[in-house]
Structure 1
Amino acid sequence: MNKFTKLSLLTILLATVLFSACKKEYETIQSIDENAIQSYIKANNLNMTKASTGYYYNIITPGSGAEIKNPDSVFYSYTFKLLNGTQLTKSSTVVIPSTFLGYTDRFTIGGSSYVFTPIREVLTMLKRGGTARLILPSNMAFGRNGLESVGVGPNENILVELGVYSQSKIHQIDELQMDNFLSANSLTAVKDLSRVRYIVTQQGTGAPIFATSTLSVNYTGRLLTGTIFQASSEPTSIELASAIKGWLVLQNFKVGTKVRLFIPSDLAYGQAGRLDDTGSYYVVPPNSVLDFDVEIVSVTN
């Protein structure tokens, strides 16, 4: 046997040993995951089903109404936890996530993007108002590296709690988001017939305002997350008829008024949202409720 043949055989043997070692380690991790998950299920007296791909799930509340299809919009909630109860990340009740059901497996966590197919599969089993939980074994979650930035160690199993909101229309979600925001911030607002909510912080006594008026205003525009997307540095002229529809509520007031407005998405930038001047990114994402502070400095009628 020549030296080349011996070297080739040695290389193949070494590769086989390494492959076997990796395979053995992977199987060992799977076994550890399985034991940990089974212990968690038993300790918490849960009745969970194991999917053919290896994750566990439990439909807590099936929900009601028509079955949700992949092309349907769905408003949902999620909470990611370790099995010891440590919370990693969760959705907001103020800015409620929405997407087509077929895209509900995509997440950005700790600055990285992930696709968790089991989450979409379990959400597919729910109807509006439904809730569920699932357990992702480590190899279907963050793997052997974990995700240190949010506190996930190597080979951690992940519990995900899911819910589908009963609301199916964006205007219903707008109302819920405004309700939740006001409640979370202990605010009380008046609801106009237009569905705009407002809080008057200073009552004006100057000239009246009409739909055809041109206003000079100081203002700050925010998303419900608190992110400022636009603000005036000095009084700015705005034709009320050309402004977003929600600003027409300013006809209720007079010059000198300071008011905070909460504007539903369809009376703001709607499904289109608003891009920056270069068209590169959204300064106002689609279907965003807006939060404005407005001071009416003067009016031209």
Structure 2
Amino acid sequence: MKKPIYFLLPLFAAFALGAHAQSEMKHTPNGALYQIFTGNAGDKIKQNDVITFNFIQKTDKDSILFSTYKAGRPVQAQIQPSQNVGDLMEVFPLLAAKDSALVKVPTDSVFKGHEEARPPFFPKGSYLTFILKIEKVQSLTDAIAEKTAAAQKLKDGEVAAANSYVAANKINAVTTVSGLKYFVTTPSIKRKPLAGDTVLVNYTGKLLGGKVFDSSVEADAKSAGLEQPGRKYEPISVVLGQGQVIPGWDEGLLLLNEGSKATFIIPPSLAYGEKGAGQDIPPYSTLLFNVELVKVKPTKHAPVAKKTGIKSPAKKRVYRKTPASKKTN
């Protein structure tokens, strides 16, 4: 949930009162200017701590470049020794949980050695301004435990949601060993592809809740209000078994015949997992794909030896010890 606008007012008020004169601000060893607006009791942030914080990033002319409040969620960082003036690692250890501060980073230091990357809104002598608020401070152990618990909760929720979707829609899906669920909606008796073959596929992808996030079919895209400027609505070309697509596709397309249509219900482990993909696919999302295997373009495969009924003579087994340095897991 986004922070209400009144939450930002104390920060801006402090900025107006405290930043009117840079001469009153303190300096870090690497040249950043800072002013702490609050002085909350509690331990200061330590090396290796994980902090959760909100920030507003601005130019000298108060143009907002980025805001975690607008993005809708804070960010996390592990405290490490400072590598450059812009990483703020000199300032964080001066703060405690719930502290807020103003930090001004000299852009001359940020772009030193690569002036060609300096944008026009950061002229020489200017500053990159941060308004920070530390929301939470955790030890690394506690942060990892919290992240693991949250991840497991998301995983369990997605498994339950996928099972509920199948039951609610009375889907008679086949479940593979990997966890992929699929059901064929339009069967075909044409050839099946093999790993290494190129296939042409039409598809529409959506989340369990029904939100369409991608489609190669113009009618589906328009029906869902999906904006894909410059997109050519035509089957996409995929070489199977080469990792060009998510594992759920690589596995599922090998199960279909040319000309068939099917729906894949792909668990997070066979899709985008804990990272998700962009703004449209959250972490640990189960994905639904309506696919059509339009065409199979076979490649040359090694011939399969025919069984002749004649047994080959037994070969002597040779046992060789593998040096410890060459053992593989």
Asked if TM exceeds 0.5, the reply is no
Higher strand share: 1
Higher helix share: 1
TM bracket, shorter-chain basis: 0.3 to 0.5
Normalising by the residue count of structure 1, what TM-score does the alignment of the two structures yield?
A: 0.43
Normalising by the residue count of structure 2, what TM-score does the alignment of the two structures yield?
A: 0.41
Structure with max Cα Rg: 2
